[in-house]
Structure formats: structure tokens, C-alpha cells
Structure 1
Amino acid sequence: MDAGLIATIVFFLMLALLATGVWVAPTLIAVGFVTLHFFSPAPAGSLLASNVWDASWNWALTALPLFVWMGEILFRTRLSSDMFNGLAPWLSRLPGGLLHVNIVGCGVMAAVAGSSAVTCATVGRMSMPELKKRGYDENLAIGTLAGSGTLGLLIPPSIMLIVYGVVAQVSISRLFIAGIVPGVMIILIFMAYVALRAKLNPALAPKQDTGLSFVQKLYASRYLFPVIALMFVVLGSIYGGFATPTEAATIGVLGALVLAAATGSLSWSSFMESLMGAVRTSCMIAFILAGAAFLSIAMGFTGVPRVLAGYVDAWNLSPVMLIVLLTVLYIFLGCFLDGVSMMVLTAAVVLPMVDKAGIDLLWFGIFTVIVVEMAQITPPVGFNLFVLQGMTGRDILKVTRSAAPFFFLMLLGIAIITAFPQIVLAPVQFMIE
């Protein structure tokens, strides 16, 4: 049967199962089984057993539940209030004032939590009441949280970068290094936008002068030391070559437990809640990855990825045009799928095409994660939108409108790293040399 027809059948079968409410992982396994059974002579049953097993014991994947658990522990500490108190004296005099605390606070939290939802919820539950009390524009406050909360997917240790590394067989340590500069760049883009808005309309962010001296500001910064120390220990051990991502994640969990105990947030109840939360999230992601691995094998036996890559090659698309096409595709998928599902669903077809086009898979990993970040604030399935809706009590349309400018700012970030790929690749080359 023609590979194009097989791809069409597979696509609509997957769409039908997802539309009826079947979970993503069983959908992937079912579609893979049907594909092998009807369109390939390969034994579907034995391939299912062997591939699900191979995908489940991947050593690189062991870092995932540990980083998730670290984020769950920190979510239950006073970390967000400490960060607010430590950052506010330094950022309050910038145009936009305490809105920058949202952005920088999310960046710092992302570097220890690794999760978009945890980052958004942890910073937001502290900053939103403070910003409202001080007369800041609610739409801009929600927007900064929605956009900056997605940094948990990009700034290492990122759960999404671990997933991509496992799927694409790319070094997770290199992905972590590659994510730093783009993450900082997007933080600066967000801060520049907020400052510009505040300059044009000062009523959006009332000026607040803390009146603190330099020494007093330094003293207030003591609140930041624990989280910054944890960040440097976890990431420094990876970049310095002292620990693998899995070993660094173990250090991070122990450090998070110490922080929780030091702030009086650690109890048997909070310990079990964080542990069970990590188990649920990690099992969901691991199940999806196992299903995706099986579907990738099934698609490989049918020859669909090779044929589709040939179609793209026949179109004579430049690498830039291919990136534009994939950006549109991912934005569309992001309206209906969560980030992990979107990444693994497309891997079997997209990665061979990208590789054939000569695009560096390390660079493509950062590109993919930024697009997945954008999906976190696109309705109807933008997860950060739901987090903020529950936190603020506002309807989803208001939250979406507030987040829209930050969606386009991330699109600008994609354009910049596409025009200047060394923003992603140069830090990796520097660290290796």
C-alpha cells in the first residue's frame, strides 16, 4: 500500500481515538499495533513487548522522576515568598517594577523545578496578591506569569529536554547547556516588553521605591541564597562533569528536602504528597514514551517516515522554510495536545525529515521546546492557562488575551535562534572544548 495512504489512515485513526477520550499512551500503542498488523509482515505482539520493555528501562529516563519530585517538594515550601522578598528590592525601580519579579522569579524557579506548571503556580500564588494589592495591571500581571511560567520547559533542568533527549537520542547534558542562553534571552525579551509597556503607560505598573540602601538590598538577598545554592549545585555538578543528570537530580531531591525541612514545610503528609505527585507525573510521561517508541518502530517498518522525508526533499524546501512549516504544525497541534504528547507523536516522522535537511538535532531540540512552551499558553489545551484561571478566578478568555503578547514574543525568540543558531550551539561547543 502507498505510504502516503498509510500515513493518512494512521493519522485519522489516531485523531479518532484521541477525540473519543482515549489516553495518549494507549492510543499510540493501539495505532502502532494496527499499523504493524495490517500494513507490515512484522510480528506486532513480540515487537510491542520488546519495545515497551526497552523504552521503560532507558537509563537517561531515570533523571525524569527525580527532577519531577524535586519540583514537587519545592512547590510545597516557602520558596516563592522568599524569592519575592529577595528579588523585589533589586527589580522594583525598573520600568515595570515588580512585574519583573514574576519574570525573573519564574526563571530562577525553572532552574530548580524543571516544570512549567510548578513554576507558574509556585511564583503566581505569591506574586498575584502582592501585585493586585499594589495596583498593578491585572492583565499584564497574568501575562507575565503565563509567559514566564513556560520557562520551566526550557531552562535546565527541564523535564521536556529530558524527554526530547530520550526520544531523539541526543545527550541530555548537552541539551541542558544549550537551553541556558535561549532561556536567558527569552527572559530579557519579556523584561524589555514589560518595560516598554510601562514606559508607554505608567498606570500599568505604579512606581514603587523601596527606599532601601545597597547594604539593605544585599541583606534582603539572603532569601535567595538557598534556591540559588541549590541551582548551582544541581547544574554545576552536570556542567562541571562531576555528575550525570541522574546523579545531579538525586542531589537536587536531597537539597529540596533540606530546604523544605529548613523552612518548616516538611512533614510526613507533604513528603507523601510530593512523592505521589512525582509518581503520577513520571508514570504518565514514561507510559507515553513507551507508546511513542512502539509507534516509531511501527512507522519505520511501513517506510512512512522515509517516504514523507522524500516528499519534503522533493519540495526543495530550505532548512528555514522547513522550520517555518514545522512551527505552524506544532502551533496547530499545541491547540489540542500537551507538550509531551506533541513531541513524541511527531518524533517518528519529523526527526528523520529534520536530520535529512541537515538541521542539527541539538538545535532542533531547543526549537521544539520553545514551540512547546508556546503551546502551554494556546487554548483550548494550554496548561498554564488552566493554572492561572484557577489561581485568579478569571475566565479562560481573559487569561488567554493576557497571555497572547507573550506567545508572539516567544515566536520572536524562535526567529532569533533560527537566524543565529550559534546562540544555541556555541555554549555547547565552548563547554566541550
Structure 2
Amino acid sequence: MIIKIVALVVLGVLCLFGIVKLLKLYSIHYVIRNKDFNIKQNTKFLVIIPMYKEQLRFEQCIKAFDLLDYEKDKVTIVISCTAKEEGTETTKMLVDEYLKNNNTNLKFEVVEYPKKNGNAAEQVNYAFKQFKNEGDVLAIYNADSIPHPLSLKAANLEYQDQKVNVVQQPIYFFNNIGSNLFSLGYSFHQTLFDMTINMWSSLFSKGVQVTGRGLYIRCSFIGEEIYSTDFFCEDTALSSVLVSKGERIVSLSVFENNEPPPNLSAIIHQHSVWYNTASDVKGLYSMLKNDPETKSKYIVFKLFEQSYKNMIWLFGAPILWILGCIYPITFLFLYLYCLLTITCLKYTFRFPIKNINVFYASFSLMLFLLVLNLGPLLDIYKRFLVRLKFSDKHEKYKTTRGE
């Protein structure tokens, strides 16, 4: 009897969740449509792109950023490589050679972080220290980012408000989609998550999350460093700091196109890295309480919210499996929820997904939701091995690129 009640509650939540997501998607579409970015371009931008083992993406990256529509004397794009990458054809070598042999519309610079044990956060911090006087606003992207050509104009519009310090560009994940079913499910899940959670909150509230790509920060707002280097996911830590300070996170009205991991293994490893920081509530609390600008009420709210999301991430999929095995209709409702949201996404926004079959895509999303907790489980397992001294160190994983 109790299980039956729980199953009915879960099915009701799925239906309600689907309706709420539909309303959010249509609200976002209504707010961002027909914005006019043709105002005076008075903001100077410094764009930093950290790269490590990006032999497959550096050329696509340079070409995509060179298409940004903005006054060329007000944009500096810095590719930050690292000495950690060794070999006969490092990313820095290839980038240097490409820029030497090809003309670009915008100004590109290349730097190399000198330490061999650094990470992307340190590469960004290092590049910012070298070029911080080049811009009024810092923009941070990934090597696989493809920003909308109007991204800088859209950001310039937001920064006309002098109270705005942090702007986040929303992301969809439909670049370089392969044939992998889990990769397709990831694309829709992350796109829906970014729009209905992050973008929604930024448009209609103060914002709850920033990501390390498509992130814009006013240079005068930045202290000595942009990112803390004590966590696997520097953007999760930065989000905690911004929310705990009560800082408003504004959303751009144009999107960045990104690519999903190529297979289930890459997805699991990526999620394990994300969960490692998200679940380190003790570490986040220690960082926040030592910051004099954070506010206690916001710290409590942020850490409670993070713990709540961690529980859903870890236990959501097992609950669906258990209820589905007892009451198979659970899987039907889950599929209908996926079909409803993907159909809305496909026909409301101009994403490059017109040739994707919605029924197949809905199945891929449903399948992805049923394995969503494998990344957190991998992180817990790795930390358990370290604690038992079967492993020396829990290493951060670099997401692989598809061919």
C-alpha cells in the first residue's frame, strides 16, 4: 500500500514537473525574443579560453570566436595553454602555428601557464593577471564553445547597468552530436537543466549558478583571483561565493553551443568530477565562512539547496528503477515527460535539432535519467579507495572529445 502511494506521488510529480518545465520554456522564449543589441559598443572585452590537449578543437574554437560581431579594437581573445601538456604537437604549438599562418578579424593572444601540475582554473587566473588591463569585462569560455555571433553585443547591453557584475550565457549542447544514445540524452538533459534552472532563475530572480563557460564578470569586481583552485569544479565553488554574497547573476539572451561527452563512460567521469565539488559541503562552508563579504543567511540557503540537489542526484534514478520494476507504468510516464519537454524545446527555440526524431530523443533522455547517479557513485567509490589507502590521490578527469 505504501509503495503504491509513493508510486502515485512520483507519477504526479513527473506530470507536474513536465507542466512546470513547459511554462518555464515558454516564459523564457517570451522574455528573450526580439531583443535589440544595436547600441553603442562601449564595453571592452577580454576573452580567456583555457586549453589542454585540445588538438581536435583548437581550430574550430578560433574560427568560432573570430566570428564574434563586435568592434575589433575592443576585443582581446587570450588562449591560455599549459606547460603540463608535453609532446611534439602540443596545443600551444598548433595554436601558434595556426595564428601565424592565418589572418584573423579579432586580436588573439597565446600564453602558457608555466607550472606542470595546474588546472584550467589556474590557467584562467594566470592569463587574467597578464591581460587584466585589456578589458572592462572578462569572458571565460571552453575550447569546445561556439558562442553566438551576437554574444558580446548582448553582454554589452547588460553591462549598461552599472550594478550588473556577473552575466551568464545559457548553453545548449547540440554541437558535434554523435550516434551515442547516452550522449544524445545528455545533450537534452543539460540543455533543459540549464534553461529551466539556471537561465530561468537568472531571468526571473537573482540566479543560482554560474558555469565556467560563457561566464562574464566585470573586471573591477574581480579580486586577486577569479577562481578558487581548491576544488575540482571551480565554477561550482564560484557559484557558492556569488550566491552567498547576494550577487545577482544576469542571463544573456543569446546562447552558446557546446558539445556533449562522446559516450557513457565520459559522462560518468565528468559527473563524478562535478559531484566531487557539489558534495563537498564542508569544504564549501569553510571557504564561505572565511569570506568577510558573504552573508550568513545566504550561506545557509546555498548549502541547504546544494545538499538537497545532491540527494536528488544520488537517489533519483534508483527510486525510478524501483518504482518502474514494481509499477511499469512509471516508465511510460517518464517517457511522456521526456517527450513533452523535448517537443517543446524543439519547436519553441531555434536550436540545430530539426532533424532529430523527438520519439528517439525522448527515449535517449529517459535512458539518461535512469543512469544519472552513476557519476556520483563513481566519485564516492574513488574517495572510499583513497580513504582506505588503496589509491594515493583522487585525480580530476578531463572530459574527452568526440572525433
Q: Which structure has greater strand proportion?
A: 2
Larger helix percent: 1
Considering the TM-score relative to the shorter chain, is it more than 0.5? Answer: no
Q: TM-score range by the shorter chain?
A: under 0.3
TM-score normalised by the chain length of structure 2 = 0.26
